[in-house]
Amino acid sequence: MIAKKELNQLLRNNFKLVAFDIDGTLITSDHIVTPRTLRAIKKAKDLGIKVTIATGRHYPSVIRLARKIQINAPLICCDGAFIRDIYSNESIYYLLPREIAVDILRMTQSYENFSVQIFIKKGKIYSGQSYRGSYFIKSLRAPVKRSLKGYLNFLRDFVFIPVQNTGNIEGAIAALNESPVKIVVYGNERPEDLQDFIDRILARYGDKITVTSSIKNSIDILNGGISKAKGLSILAEKLGIRPDEIITIGDNFNDLEMLKYAGLGVAMGNAPEQVKNKADYVTDTNNHEGVAKFLEKLISVKIKQECVQYDRQNHIAVKREQNGISLDV
C-alpha cells in the first residue's frame, strides 16, 4: 500500500487515462454521482486526462452515466467483453461461444432456484417470468432508502432496458440464437450450491471461460481471458497509452485485474479487504465521495506541476531578456 507521501510523488507521473467502476465506486448507494465528483472529473479532463468507465454492467445500463460524466474515451462494459465509442458507436465484442453458454445454462438446472441473465448485444434474456417485477421487488427490499432521483436513476439503468422474459432455462436457451456477451448466474440461499456450480464449470471448461463476481451470491461468466484489464489493454493500445499512464478505481472482485494492470490501482474504502490488499492506494468510500477526494489529490499535484513549469519557463525568458537574447525567431 502506498503511503500519502509516496502517493504525492507517484501522482507526478504523466497519467493520461482514469477508468472508473460504477457500482460501489462512481455512484453512491443512492445511485447518484455527486456534484463534487462531477466537478472533479471535469477538472481532470480540463487538465488533458481522458476518463472512461469500466463496468460489469451492460451497455444499456451504462450509457446514461457515460453521458452524464461526459467520458472522452471509449466505454468498457460487460467486464471487458464489450468496448464501445459512445460517439461513433464503433464496437468490439468478445463473445462466449454459444455451445459453451448453452451447456453452462443447462448445468444451472441441477440447482434449485438459480436464476440467469444472459447479456446479448442488444439487451438481455432473463430466465424468469418478469425481469422488471424482480427488480421492483429488489428495489423495495434494498437496505438503503433511495431518494426520488436515485430511484429514478435505478429504474432507468436497470428496469427500463431491453429484456426478453423466457420463464425458465430451456426458454432462455431457445431464445439464445447468438453467442452471448456474458452470463450472470444468481445463486440460491445456499452459498455452497453456487460454489459447487463454479467448481463444476471450471473443471469442465478451464481457461475457455472466465468466472468473476461483482455482486454477492452471483457470478459473471465470460469468454476465456476476458476481464476489465483486457478491455483496458485493448483501449490503451488504441489510444497509444501505456499501462503505467493509467489509473483505475474500483471496489470489487471483478476490478482486481484492472487494479493490478494499471500504473496506479485505487480501491474504494467500501471494497472487501481482499481487494484493498491488492490495490496501490485506498481512498474513501463511495458514500463519502472517495472518487472525488482521490481526483482532487491528482488535480492538485498536476496544477502544482504546471505552475512550476510555467515559473521555470518564465524565469528562463526573463534571464534571456536580461542577457539581450531575443526570443523572436
CATH number of residue 49's parent domain = 3.40.50.1000
Is 40 within the bounds of a domain? yes
Identity of the amino acid at 288: H
Which neighbouring-strand residues pair with 84?
A: 75, 91
How far is the C-alpha of 318 from the C-alpha of 16, rounded, in Å? 32
What 3-state DSSP class applies to 289?
coil
- Same-domain pairing of 112 and 213: yes
- What's the CA gap between 110 and 193, in Å, rounded? 10
Task: Kindly report, residue by residue over 53-102, the tens digit of the pLDDT.
Answer: 999 999 999 999 999 999 999 999 999 999 999 999 999 999 999 999 99
Q: What is the pLDDT of residue 220?
A: 98
Out of 196, 223, 250, a domain closes at 223
Expressed as residue numbers, the domain containing 152 is: 98-223
**pTM greater than 0.85 (yes/no):** yes
**Beta strands per DSSP E along the chain:** 17-20, 50-53, 75-77, 82-84, 91-93, 115-120, 123-126, 163-165, 182-186, 209-212, 218-223, 246-250, 264-267, 281-282
Q: Please indicate, yes or no, whether residues 86 and 116 belong to a single structural domain of this protein.
A: no
Based on the fold, state whether residues 234 and 87 are members of the same structural domain.
yes
Q: What is the 3-state secondary structure (H, E, C) of 139-169?
A: HHCCCCCCCHHHHHHHHHHHHCCCEEECCCH
Do residue 104 and residue 219 come from a single domain?
Answer: yes
Q: Are 57 and 23 in contact (CB under 8 A)?
A: yes
Residue 329 lies in a domain: no
Q: Is there a domain that residue 218 lies in?
A: yes
Q: State whether 202 and 219 are in the same domain.
A: yes
Q: Do 77 and 59 touch, CB atoms closer than 8 A?
A: yes
- Count how many domains the chain has: 2
Supply the DSSP symbol for 23. I
Whether 322 is covered by a domain: the verdict is no
Q: CA dist 141 to 117, 144, 161, 270, Å?
A: 20, 9, 21, 21
Same domain, 104 and 218: yes
C-alpha cell at 88: 461513433
Nearest one of 57, 65, 53 to 17, comparing CA atoms: 53
Q: What is the CATH number of the domain that holds 196?
A: 3.30.1240.10
Residues 6+ apart with CB under 8 A from 8: 297, 301
Residues 147 and 261 in one domain: no
Predicted confidence pLDDT, tens digits, the chain (329 residues) = 666 557 877 788 889 999 999 999 999 999 999 999 999 999 999 999 999 999 999 999 999 999 999 999 999 999 999 999 999 999 999 999 999 999 999 999 999 999 999 999 999 999 998 998 888 777 777 766 778 899 899 889 998 899 999 999 999 999 999 999 999 999 999 999 999 999 999 999 999 999 999 889 999 999 999 999 999 999 999 999 999 999 999 999 999 999 999 999 999 999 999 999 999 999 999 999 999 999 999 999 988 877 766 556 565 545 566 666 554 54
pLDDT tens-digit profile of 280-297? 999 999 999 999 999 999
Of the residues 162, 191, 223, the one at which a domain ends: 223
Asked whether residue 179 is domain-assigned, the answer is yes
Is residue 141 assigned to a domain? yes
Regarding whether 122 and 83 lie in a shared domain, the answer is no
Looking at 223, 245, 272, the residue that finishes a domain is 223
Tell me the residue type at 315.
Answer: H
Residues 192 and 265 in one domain: no
Rounded-to-integer distance, Cα 55 and Cα 84, Å: 12
Do both 151 and 52 map to the same domain?
Answer: no
Residue 283 lies in a domain: yes
Domain contains 177: yes
One domain, residues 218 and 102: yes
197's enclosing H/E stretch is helix 191-205
Same domain, 149 and 202: yes
Distances (CA, A) of 175 to 120, 132, 217: 11, 18, 25
All cell numbers assigned to 192? 455452497
